[in-house]
Each structure stands twice: as structure tokens, then as C-alpha cells.
Structure 1
Amino acid sequence: MSEIERYEDHAPARPGDPGLTAEDIARRLAEIHALQGDDEAAHGEEDRLHRDVLAAIAAGAPDAPLLAAAALRTETLGFARWCA
């Protein structure tokens, strides 16, 4: 691929699919919060959440700033973030 293409061209939303919502992110934040005792699991779920939010924004989510701000709340959770 020589040019960056619109994400939605590769992953079109299904008709009637509301996409990722702030409520979905809040639920996933609670799940990550529950994993704080396992740094690796919590960090993995945080990475998945951030990728999903970026994909939603790339697909044209109309509430992109809200989704991004909600996902960044993972920074308030207390677990170690490290890479091998």
C-alpha cells in the first residue's frame, strides 16, 4: 500500500451497529481496574482498548474526542506498564 487508506474501507460498520460507545469504554475500564493486581493482564487489556478506540476513530466515530478522553482514563489506574 503506497498511500494511507481510510480505515472504514477495510472494516465497514454493519448497518445498525452503534460502534464503540463511551459506555463500552466505561465497562472495559472497570474490567481493567479489576485486573490491576496482574500488571501484564491489565496492560494487555489497556493496549486492546486503545487499539479499539483508535480503530473506531479511524472509522469515523462522530464522538471521537469523547472516546479518546474516556480511553485515556486508563492512565489513572495503578498497574505497571512495561515491555520485554
Structure 2
Amino acid sequence: MDATMTTEDVARRLAAVHAARDDDESAHGLADELHRDVLAAIAAGAADAPILAAAALRTETLGFSRWCA
């Protein structure tokens, strides 16, 4: 991942998580991938890091179960 991730990219990915919310495992996986990619973009120097992070954290408001083994 590079620093070119945009808020629109995050919004599209949030929509995908939202669409998968009836499948807890898929939604959780998509949310984890989004969080990792946002962190990588921030580490690579994304100019709008606070906005990207705040947008990615919106996954916490989506209604699906998160299980950890």
C-alpha cells in the first residue's frame, strides 16, 4: 500500500463491509483488511492521515459480530 489511499477509497471499502454485514466472518475480514491498509497508507506518509483513520474506524459502527480465536 502506498500513501495514495483516498477518503473515497475508504468509503468504497466501508460500503463493502456494510454490504457483507450479514456474514460476520466476511465483514470482519474486510474490516481488518481496511484497517491494515489504512495503517500502511499512514505509515507511507498519507497527507490526510487523521481523516483516513477516522473514516476507517467507522467500521466499529457497523452491526456485525467480531470473533477472535
TM-score range, shorter chain: over 0.9
Structure-2 separation of matches of 1:29 and 1:73: 8
Residue equivalent to 2:41 = 56
Deviations 1:9-38 (A, max 9, x none): xx7x5xxxx710000000010010000010
Structure-1 separation of matches of 2:10 and 2:45: 17
> Which residue among 30, 45, 48 is the counterpart of 1:45?
30
Q: Alpha-carbon deviation of 1:68?
A: 0.2
Residue equivalent to 1:29 = 14
Question: How many residues of Structure 1 are paired with residues of Structure 2 in the alignment?
Answer: 69
Asked if residue 74 in structure 1 is aligned to residue 59 in structure 2, the reply is: yes
| CA-atom RMSD in angstroms | 1.4
Greater relative contact order, per chain length (Cα 8 Å cut-off, separation 6+): 2
Aligned identity (percent) is: 72
TM-score scaled by length of structure 2? 0.94
TM-score scaled by length of structure 1? 0.78
Computing the radius of gyration from Cα coordinates, the structure with the larger value is 1
Structure-2 separation of matches of 1:74 and 1:81: 11
